[in-house]
Structure 1
Amino acid sequence: MTQSSGARIALSTAIIAGALALTYAPLPGLQQTVTVVSGSELQEPLAALEPRFEQANPNVDLVIKIQGSQDVVNNYLDDRNDFKATVLIPANGDLLEELRQRWQTQTGESPFYEEPQPVAKTLLVAIAWPERGKALFPNGQFQWSRLEQAIEQANWGAIGGNPAWGSFDFVTTDPTRSNSGQLTLTLWSEAALNTSALSPAALNAPPVQSLFAQVKSSVYQPPRSTDILLQEFITRGPNDADIATVYESIALHRWEQSGTTQNQSYEIYYLDRTVETVSTAAILRQDVSSGEAKAARTFLEFLAAPEQQTVFVQHGFRPVNPSVDLESVPNSPWSQGIPGAEVNPPSQISLPPDRQVVTEVIRLWQRAN
């Protein structure tokens, strides 16, 4: 090979390499930032998926912000964020419907580019440290009436537990800021009134008002989000936190951590009637360009694909993509022998309460003393 032909080959190779670099490198004019504001229940799976998405979409900078689910809606509507949101993913799709109604009342326009899309599903469950759970629910079944009795009596000795355990400590999230706290009080109110059709008017019945006062007086500084609650529950242990209501997803995901921290792992109890809550994503219109919306749409399509739904299952969520099977996913928490966990729980599963009921739950909580 002559020197000149070698030089020509080297030049051709350089040109091809340069062309490929231009083809695949992010172009400054096309770079998009997608800021996703999510409820805390999705914090860890989204953190795991963020680098995977950015690697597949180098022109998109994905920014994840975490808030309590009610805060996701309120902070956006009240313009409390110090950043521009592109996508909202609260724990419950009905929160987005609340946002839509309030936005349309104020502006007459839709706040979203298109209909919100489901991302992942979970259920509200209870967790308890093993000895505490057996003492509170001797038949192995969760009962709101037993929980209410324990809060009224306020100590374990009065409800059949070991007096050395001291005070009875129930934990739930702040219902003014978190979806799981709202669901807890809604289901508990239904049990107190022996109904499955709760109305705002029914919530003002004396048994419910008394219940709210008892719970509020016994829950000290309820956390703003469910994942924060569970981490505190694990850290505090059975001397300061006996039973809590949380999402099945993070209860499964953090179960191993509880055993490491406390030398014992909590058990899961499915409520006698529970609520399926669907984390749902919406692309916002305000201050979001068509290019940013297109990038956000790509992200939502990415989340719905089987490969990403598998990641959600590994973090304890139930998939919204029907092609993904809970038990066949590698490292599925449903295959790890977690006490109480069931693929097909015995509970009756209901839709979330309508927003009028939730609004009244929040108002009653704020007024309870």
Structure 2
Amino acid sequence: ILPCIVQLLPRNSDWVHLIRAHMRYRMMMGLPCITDEQITRKEKYAADYERWCKKIAKKHAEFQWDFTKQHDVYHSSDDIRMKGAATVYCTRVNEGSHQENRDSAQHVNHRDNDKQVSTIDATKEAMARIRMTINVYDKEQEKEANEIAEHVGVSAESMQTMAESPASDDHWRLGAAGKLEDSRSALYNASWLDEETRGGLDKKLRAFLRDTFPDETIRADGEERIDIRRCNCLYVHYTSAVDYTDKVDILRCNPSFQSNKEKRLDCVNVNLTEDALDFARILYLFCCRLPSKREVDVALVRLFKRAQWKPKTVWENCHILEDGRMTFMLPKYFIRGAHLINAFGSQKEDTVFYLDDVVDSDWFLRAGN
């Protein structure tokens, strides 16, 4: 919401800071598992939220913050420590649990009932959570497989067969592959790129391959044939910063993704410098067959750089990026997908972007919150 309204509000607006503080607090409360250090950070965000609430209430007497949901901020840390999970509570802990307790009480031997009921309840809760997680996962996988199959024009059964094929050590995999083409004609016919860029792509690709794979003999005159197979999507596996489980992002690089032939070129977090957030937009994704018959995956990307432009109100941990140079890159440097939002109200809305660090819990933590 902030990228949409920040330029509509006055400069250094208290409302922007209030919304940002509340978003950071709610994101922390949405973590499925949370550490003591994260609870401390959550309390800091809650204190920031309280400070901005009081500041706005002082300026505008018509806005008061005494309502039921607001009280969650004050007892959420105790709730988390008591239950061990950052569930977004709408009531206090243990309210509305009488039915579950009554069912558990029917399975005790009437000696030390409280302890037995607590143990039975904990076991049921764990079993229900496991079953629910499996069901949700199965539904998400089925839905995801059907969506991918629809986009790439294949059956869901063939997508399942592809998923069950032997996996390599690589954390990425290209998908929706096309036919093999000569790199000179294929790159020049990439109509979604401007003509000036297309003109020298093959020469730059050969130079990139010579530098990246010095053991390969690639002539400098460009006379030998290099075949490439364009792909429309990329599967990138990563380890979640939330619970350290394996996750996968499906990134699109499709010049005619929508029914109206509108292109979709997704963005990705890339590993260029240590302890830095670097991003790129995928412009061309292909598997390259070298003269030695060796096949390597390559991506043409446009790197982003830190933008000079600033919004009227710069909120906490605000990342603003703008288009930079184009380069070839190996997918092994891709970390995971990223969601960038156009900087509405800037002079160059098509080339300046905000990083959406609240798109999910993993990105919230990766962005340094």
Q: TM-score, normalized by length of structure 1?
A: 0.20
Q: TM-score, normalized by length of structure 2?
A: 0.20
Higher strand share: 2
Higher helix share: 1
